[in-house]
Amino acid sequence: MNIARLLCVLTAATVLAGLRAGPATGQPNYDENKVPDYTLPDPLVMQDGRPVTTAEMWRRERRPEILWLFEEHVYGKPLPAPPKLRFEVFDRAGDALGGTATRRQVRVHFAEGDGAPTMDILIYLPNDAGGPVPLFVGLNFYGNHTIHTDSAIRLSDKWMRPSKPFAIVDNRATEASRGRSERWPVELILSRGYGLATVYCGDLSPDTADRFDHEVIRLFYEPGQTEPAPDQGRTIAAWAWGLSRAMDYFETDEAIDHRRVAVMGHSRLGKTSLWAGAQDERFALVISNNSGCGGAALSRRRFGETVGRINTVFPHWFCDNFKQYNGNEDDLPVDQHMLIALMAPRPVYVASAVEDRWADPRGEFLAAQGADPVYRLLGTDGMAAEEMPPVDRPVTSRIGYHIRSGGHAVLEYDWLRFIEFADQHVE
């Protein structure tokens, strides 16, 4: 049985342990002395060798070139905006969470007809805001109903990966799964004056290679096409696309300050938040939490999870072209510091954890640091730290970073740092 199929039968905890220790593509390197010598592509040098010397040249030439390189070699070409997009607000309650919040649930219809894909956005806004509310938005792993015990949240009816902690039975959510996620401190976020919006990632594309229906991707197939082309986006592209469709809705809602929306993601969804923020400059702040390989960590370091391993275990995440760099990272025309640079001059925050060596915390810091020259060229500060900061001592410059105690998770500590960073940088 291959590893992709194991993902469909093991619990989430077992999968995570297996991925960190299993031998699918050799034992992972956790020794800094074994990190190979590498040279990073310069974000301020064009592919034809011309230096980028002005902000205009970055915006007009280099930024589109880097974006295209990521599309062609890593994430795949982005999906177009749907020709027909319809928002159905099926729940609007002003007395949610004991009267402290307004709850909205919005179904986004991507096409007409029975069986056309949809996604549900769950939104909480503080009732004492006094005006349009800035917002955090992010995808969740097991349905909107898992982020809070609020019984009014619609129970997802989409396919889900098996998970005992999330009470998934026959690949479907159950009432027992309500409020099972500890990653979304709703009341804390609202108490600080922000709203929260979230979407189940499986509304857009199921997270498994064994049941890769492509969901929204198939809306844009050519006649007779059954699989994405080698340079077309797959699951991460679909997830990022969905975040932009949520932003389309936010622009129509007068209670939301759509000019102050922060997109946040954890782990594979942190890779997604970075790719969404790189493509869609409407996001005012981009946050990556423990995103690792294919997210904020430098691929060339080959530390923890590698390009070869991620493409073997999760062949549905990236475009097929990315697989030619399995064990061949030095030939990639980009690395992840250039992805972070695509956020410039907008604020971006990268978060790591000491025990999450699989995600290569040092590689995440170095990638954030490597984006600094682009921010400086555009007239803002970049990464203030010249060396990796001490544990639990965040860097709060325009490129923010922290490495905290603990492992692969989203903790209240992380959210407090994200909120403080938004307070400082999102005006």
- We report the CATH number of the domain holding residue 163 as 3.40.50.1820
- Residue 371 domain-assigned? yes
DSSP secondary structure code for residue 290 in this structure = S
pLDDT in tens, the chain (427 residues): 343 333 333 333 333 433 443 334 479 999 999 999 999 999 999 999 999 999 999 999 999 999 999 999 999 999 998 888 999 999 999 999 999 999 999 999 999 888 889 999 999 999 999 999 999 999 999 999 999 999 999 999 999 988 989 999 999 999 999 999 999 999 999 999 999 999 999 999 999 887 655 678 888 899 999 889 999 999 999 999 999 999 999 999 999 999 999 999 999 999 999 999 999 999 999 999 999 999 999 999 999 999 999 999 999 999 999 999 999 999 999 999 999 999 999 999 999 999 999 999 999 999 999 999 999 999 999 999 999 999 999 999 999 999 999 999 999 999 999 999 999 999 8
Question: Whole domain around residue 326: which residue ranges?
Answer: 61-425
Structural domain contains residue 106: yes
Quote the number of domains for the chain. Answer: 1
Cis before 345 (ω within 30): yes
Asked if the structure places residue 367 within a domain, the reply is: yes
Torsion, Cα 120 115 270 257, to 10 degrees, reads -40
CA atoms within 13 A on the CB side of 406: 13
286 in any annotated domain: yes
Distance CA 18, CA 358 (A): 12
According to the model, what pLDDT value does residue 102 have? 98
- List, for residues 374-420, the tens digit of each pLDDT value: 999 999 999 999 999 999 999 999 999 999 999 999 999 999 999 99
* Residues labelled as active-site residues: 267, 408
Q: Look at residue 330 and tell me if it is in a domain.
A: yes
- Tell me how far apart the alpha carbons of residues 198 and 296 are, in angstroms, rounded to a whole number: 22
CA atoms within 13 Å, Cβ hemisphere of 239:
30
Q: Widest CA span of the chain, in angstroms? A: 60
How many residues are recorded in the chain? 427
Domain assignment of residue 108, yes or no = yes
Q: Is residue 278 part of a domain?
A: yes
Residue with tokens 């064009």, as numbered in its chain = 46
Q: Return the pLDDT at 401.
A: 98
CA–CA distance, 119 with 127 (Å, rounded to integer): 25
Q: What is the reported pLDDT for 218?
A: 87
Query: Is 26 inside any structural domain?
Result: no
